Structure 1
Amino acid sequence: MSHVYQFEAESLAGRPVPLSQFRGKVLLIVNTASECGFTPQYAGLQALQETYAGQDFDVLGFPCNQFGKQEPGDAEQIAQFCDTRFRVSFPMFAKIDVKGPAAHPLYRWLTSEKPGVLGTEAIKWNFTKFLLRRDGSVFKRYAPTTKPEELKRDIEALLAEPAPAA
């Protein structure tokens, strides 16, 4: 079976992070940017993190500069922005490509598992969201215009499912 735990990503601090460390959790994976019209969604993402963190839930943020060059900063600048503007406590990862030939393997997998509108796989803009089940499979893909608070019902439904056998 294909699942998110087969991937590794680099943290914003430059350390490798095997995504298997999130095994058994409901995950919301989001490509982010600090100079986007959707950037205020960081507040909603942080609210979800705070609401559900004690229930085996995490938001994972992946900065990307592919859409209008809206994430121009380096890792230190991104970390400072997320902390000072939104008090982000969820894991943030190193800036990656989410589409095209240099797309991170995680995003190639996510987009093939849950294509977007009309079956297109490509990420169209910042703040595209993927909600994953506890078993590491992709449950649903959400458009950038979908506000984080609109995901609560789906998150709660996945949290209510039994954890997979180890």
Structure 2
Amino acid sequence: MEPLAVHPGRCSGPRARVFAVLLSMALCTAMLFLLQLKFLKPRVSSFYTFEVKDAKGRPVSLEKFKGKEVTLVANVASDCQLTDRNYLALQELHREFGPFHFSVLAFPCNQFGEAEPRPSKEVASFVRSNYGVTFPVFHKIKILGPEAEPAFRFLVDSSKKEPRWNFWKYLVNPEGQVVRSWRPEEPIEAIRPEIADLIRQMIIKKREDL
């Protein structure tokens, strides 16, 4: 009786299939990684990278503030119990430290108590006539949810402080990083020294760079 012939191909078949599956998985993983590198957005490190809209809906690049000014960014509203006190305080800071080294940047929002029902252009007109506001008032935005304004979302993510009401404030240095944040009820006296210190640092740096 002749011995049974040995067929290497039959014995190695399952191993080959396992190897092919593993190889396919490795290639798919590598392709997904490369696609992520190509399409994944780089981490934004500066508030001044963003573009927003002014009260008339025109695009405004925040790049113009980079390296030149300290900014205090606030979500504002016209029909809130905190409106009078906060708008007057913001204008006082803007007048005291501006216009060359500091600016308040106001973003109307209607998500807190529906306290900003006006269209953006009416908001700008209202605060000018009632509070003498001279700082920029931008287009009305959303702060919460999937439609949140990316520029304001950057402030929230950087500070880990999400607004719970109108007139939260974020202090941003000339490089575009968030330095401090304040709740709406905190007094102007708590904010003023921080602004003055950042402006002093900015002026010293500019002199050293000359």
TM-score between the two structures when normalised by the length of structure 2: 0.73
> What corresponds to 2:83 in structure 1?
39
> What corresponds to 1:50 in structure 2?
95
> What corresponds to 1:152 in structure 2?
192
Question: Conserved in 1, the CA contact under 8 Å of 2:170 and 2:182?
Answer: yes
Bigger helix share: 2
Verify: 1:78 aligned to 2:118, yes or no.
no
> What corresponds to 2:182 in structure 1?
142
Quote the offset at 1:20 in angstroms.
Answer: 0.4
What pairs with 1:2-151 in structure 2 (closer than 5 Å)?
2-23=45-66, 24-40=68-84, 41-116=86-161, 122-151=162-191
Quote the offset at 1:96 in angstroms.
Answer: 0.1
Deviations 1:49-106 (A, max 9, x none): 1100144100000000000100000123212211111011000100000111111001
Indicate the percent of aligned positions where both proteins have the same amino acid.
Answer: 36
Quote the offset at 1:150 in angstroms.
Answer: 2.6
Deviations 1:96-125 (A, max 9, x none): 001111110012111110012xxxxx3211
Tell me the amino acid that sits aligned with residue 136 of structure 1.
G
Rounded to whole Å, the distance in 1 between the matches of 2:189 and 2:51 is 28
Rounded to whole Å, the distance in 2 between the matches of 1:87 and 1:59 is 13
Tell me the amino acid that sits aligned with residue 62 of structure 2.
L
Tell me which stretches of 4 or more aligned residues in structure 1 moved more than 6 Å: none
Rounded to whole Å, the distance in 2 between the matches of 1:99 and 1:20 is 24
SS of residue matched to 1:34: coil
Q: State which structure, 1 or 2, has the greater radius of gyration over its C-alpha atoms.
A: 2
Q: In structure 2, list runs of 5 or more residues that go unmatched.
A: 1-43
> What corresponds to 1:119 in structure 2?
none
Rounded to whole Å, the distance in 2 between the matches of 1:109 and 1:76 is 25
Q: In structure 1, list runs of 5 or more residues that go unmatched.
A: 117-121
Quote the offset at 1:36 in angstroms.
Answer: 0.7
SS of residue matched to 1:59: strand
Query: Which structure is richer in relative contact order (CA contacts within 8 A, separation 6 or more)?
Result: 1
Quote the offset at 1:5 in angstroms.
Answer: 1.4
SS of residue matched to 1:152: helix
Rounded to whole Å, the distance in 2 between the matches of 1:137 and 1:159 is 14
For these two proteins, the number of residue pairs brought into alignment is 161
